Amino acid sequence: MHKHFDVVILGGGCAGLSLASSLSEFGKDSPKVLIIEQRESYSNDRTWCFWDIANPKYQSLASHAWSTFEVINNKHASKFDCSQHQYLMLESHRFYEDALTKIGSNSNIQLMLGEELLSIPVKTEHGWHIKTADFELTAKLVVDTRPPKNISHTDSVLWQSFVGYEIETKLDFFSPEKLVLMDFDHMFKQGLAFIYILPTTKNKALIEYTVFSENIMTQQQLITPLKKYIAQNIDGSLYETVRVEHGVLPMGNKLKAQNKDPSYLFAGLFAGAARPSSGYAFQRIQSWADQCARSIATKNRLYAFPTERVLQSFMDGLFLNVIKKNPSMAVSLFADLFSNCDLNSVIKFMSDQASTHDYLRIIRSLPPRPFLKALPHFLMQKVFRRAGLM
Q: Where are the domains of the chain?
A: 4-46+90-148+256-299, 155-251, 310-386
- What confidence score (pLDDT) does residue 384 get? 57
Per-residue pLDDT at 348 exceeds 90: yes
Poorest-pLDDT segment among 9-13, 76-80, 286-290, 383-387:
383-387
What is the structure's pLDDT at 388? 56
Q: How many whole angstroms separate alpha carbon 30 and alpha carbon 293?
A: 9
Confidence of residue 149 (pLDDT cuts 50, 70, 90): confident
Please provide the average confidence, as pLDDT, over all residues in the chain: 93
pLDDT of residue 116: 92
Whether residue 302 contacts residue 143, with contact meaning beta carbons closer than 8 Å, is answered with yes
The pLDDT-based confidence of 374 (bands split at 50, 70, 90) is confident
- What whole-number distance in Å separates Cα of residue 342 and Cα of residue 323? 22
pLDDT per residue over 206-239, tens digit each? 999 999 999 999 999 999 999 999 999 887 778 8
What sign results for the dihedral spanned by CA atoms 31, 34, 35, 41? positive
Element (H, E) at 374: helix 368-386
Q: Residue 2 — very low, low, confident or very high, per pLDDT cuts 50/70/90?
A: low
pLDDT score recorded for residue 37: 97
Q: How far is Cα 33 from Cα 369, in angstroms, rounded to an integer?
A: 52
Does position 383 have pLDDT exceeding 80, yes or no? Answer: no
CATH T-level topology, domain 155-251: D-Amino Acid Oxidase; Chain A, domain 2 (3.30.9)
Confidence of residue 387 (pLDDT cuts 50, 70, 90): low
Residue 289 contacts by C-beta under 8 Å, 6 or more apart in sequence?
15, 18, 19, 21, 22
What backbone phi and psi angles, to 5 degrees, belong to 266? Answer: -90, 135
Contacts of 195 (CB under 8 A, 6+ apart): 180, 182, 183, 185, 207, 208, 209, 210, 226, 229
Give the pLDDT band (50/70/90) at residue 284. very high
What CATH superfamily is the domain 4-46+90-148+256-299? FAD/NAD(P)-binding domain (3.50.50.60)
- pLDDT score of 390: 54
Q: What is the mean pLDDT of residues 25-49?
A: 97
Burial class, 110, CB count within 10 angstroms (exposed 0-12 / middle 13-18 / buried 19+): middle
Q: Which of 256, 265, 275 is nearest to 316 (CA)?
A: 275
Distance between CA 272 and CA 288 in Å, rounded? 10
Mean pLDDT of 274-282: 91
Q: What percent of the chain has pLDDT over 70?
A: 97
Indicate whether this model's pTM tops 0.85: yes
